[in-house]
Structure 1
Amino acid sequence: MSLQEVIKSGKSVEEAVKAALAELEASPEEVSVEVLEEPNRGLLGFIGSRPAKVRVVRKATPGERARQLMEDILRVMALEGKVQMQEDEESITLEVEGVNLGVLIGRRGETLNALQYLLGLAAGRNAGSKKRVWLDVGGYRRKRENTLRALALRLAEKAKKQGRNIVLEPMSPQERRVIHMTLRGRDDIYTFSEGEEPFRKIVIAPRK
């Protein structure tokens, strides 16, 4: 793990900060600076002179803020789980593994979606850009996506065979996207959404 905080001295505050940035391998935008001591030239410019001293702390990234909140939630709920985080320029992925974590998923992933929303708020706090946050617990989303893909293909065949629209149950935007992407580009059926959130549904319709 890289350094998160250093205290450095120098002839000036600027010199001390520059030394701290070099050690942290960080840019000025990535840190906060606290001046602990202002430089003092002393008597005649050298007797009793005192250098500047600064504390430079690396700011938490959006992903680190989201991970910290997730770890706090686990602790408050007395749940044992390990949080893995990956972060790039556009998104943050958090995966929680452990035992008895079903309470974090909820009915049809409703609690999981709510937690994902909260983590997105935490990640976006004081951030210059908003990154998409993706949360999974115990591989639930991957399993659910596989189930949704299979469902989409099965209902597409049903819509084609019966020549009528098939209306699915209300789903989250993330789950609706799985259905749309699975059936995208077919020349025998097409999909569209109808209704208002949180009751918005996908319709699978045969092409005529």
Structure 2
Amino acid sequence: MKKTVASGKTIEDAVQNGLTELKVTADRVNVSVLEQPSRGLFGLIGVRKARVELTLLPEPVVEPEPKEQTTDPLAEAQRFVIEVAETMGLAVQIARHDSKDGLVLSLSGSGDLGMLIGRRGQTLDALQYLVNIVANRYSDNHLRIVLDAEDFRERRRKTLEDLSDRLAGQVIRSRKEVVLEPMSPHERKIIHSQLQNHAKIKTFSKGDEPNRRVVIALK
């Protein structure tokens, strides 16, 4: 079975590099995260790239189907998640529900689902990225799928909101702005939303992806 190990600044970049090397799409591989990216000391020394292993799946047997039958994009997305989890030694169950951010696929099961979440949700974000690629390959309309595990998204949102309030108080006391660590667009949005109506505080983002950061400052 053909495999390749690829690296990149982020897990998404590493996966995309591996797909380019294999010349296949995301639904044709199983992905294992070998190493999370690290920014190193002071963001300068010891920078470590993300490393992933992509295993090429066997060519699917194409059987003729009646014209009226179509492939269910959500079923394909769920199948992909289950197969990735299996490569990590995990058995997961998937529940669906709608939210304002899109269709949520919520994972539960036995074993350490923290492996699917990763440090601050990096592995979960990377898997979510791939799931959306797989689902939209089979959909005529754009689908927005949010992947969650053990209510991580809600717990992370609450953590970021609490962090926002705490740092806003720090800025008011010290009268010095605070620059947060790089975050995903979704997490930056949580910070901005939490403080957008603050009487004394303003927020803005600076830098380029994937190192774009939120700045909390006095108005």
Q: Same fold (TM over 0.5)?
A: yes
Q: Does 1:127 pair with 2:133?
A: no
Q: Does 1:164 pair with 2:176?
A: yes
Match of 2:217 in 1: 205
Amino acid aligned to 1:169: E
- Residue 97 of structure 1 deviates from its aligned partner by 0.9
* Cα displacement string for residues 100-136 of structure 1 (whole angstroms, at most 9, x for unaligned residues): 1111111121111100100110111142221222111
- TM-score, normalised to structure 2, is 0.65
Q: Matches of 1:183 and 1:72 in 2, distance apart? A: 40
Q: Does 1:70 pair with 2:81?
A: yes
Q: Matches of 1:135 and 1:146 in 2, distance apart? A: 17
Match of 2:130 in 1: 118
- TM-score, normalised to structure 1, is 0.68
The alignment covers a number of residue pairs equal to: 155
Q: Does 1:85 pair with 2:115?
A: no
- Residue 91 of structure 1 deviates from its aligned partner by 2.3
Which moved further from structure 2: 122-131 or 170-179? 122-131
Asked if the contact 1:63–1:87 (Cα under 8 Å) also holds between the matched residues in 2, the reply is no
Q: Does 1:176 pair with 2:208?
A: no
Asked if the contact 1:92–1:132 (Cα under 8 Å) also holds between the matched residues in 2, the reply is yes
Q: Matches of 2:199 and 2:103 in 1, distance apart? A: 35
Are the structure 2 counterparts of residues 58 and 86 from structure 1 closer, same or farther at C-alpha, using a change threshold of 3 Å? Answer: farther
Q: Matches of 2:133 and 2:192 in 1, distance apart? A: 27
Match of 1:34 in 2: 66
Structure 2 gap segments, 5+ residues each: 1-63
Are the structure 2 counterparts of residues 65 and 89 from structure 1 closer, same or farther at C-alpha, using a change threshold of 3 Å? Answer: farther
* Cα displacement string for residues 13-49 of structure 1 (whole angstroms, at most 9, x for unaligned residues): xxxxxxxxxxxxxxxxxxx9627xxxxxxxxxxxxxx
Q: Secondary structure in 1 aligned to 2:69?
A: strand
1:94 to 105, 119, 128: 105
- Residue 137 of structure 1 deviates from its aligned partner by 1.1
Q: Secondary structure in 2 aligned to 1:86?
A: strand
Amino acid aligned to 1:153: D
Structure 1 gap segments, 5+ residues each: 1-31, 36-55
- Residue 58 of structure 1 deviates from its aligned partner by 4.7
Asked if the contact 1:192–1:202 (Cα under 8 Å) also holds between the matched residues in 2, the reply is yes
Q: Secondary structure in 2 aligned to 1:152?
A: helix
Question: Considering only CA atoms, is the larger Rg found in Structure 1 or Structure 2?
Answer: 1
Runs of 4+ in 1 over 6 A off after TM superposition: none
Q: Matches of 1:105 and 1:69 in 2, distance apart? A: 16
Amino acid aligned to 1:63: L
Asked if the contact 1:189–1:204 (Cα under 8 Å) also holds between the matched residues in 2, the reply is yes
Amino acid aligned to 1:203: V
Q: Matches of 2:215 and 2:134 in 1, distance apart? A: 34
* Cα displacement string for residues 61-85 of structure 1 (whole angstroms, at most 9, x for unaligned residues): x332221211121223220221112
Q: Secondary structure in 1 aligned to 2:199?
A: coil
Q: Does 1:103 pair with 2:135?
A: no
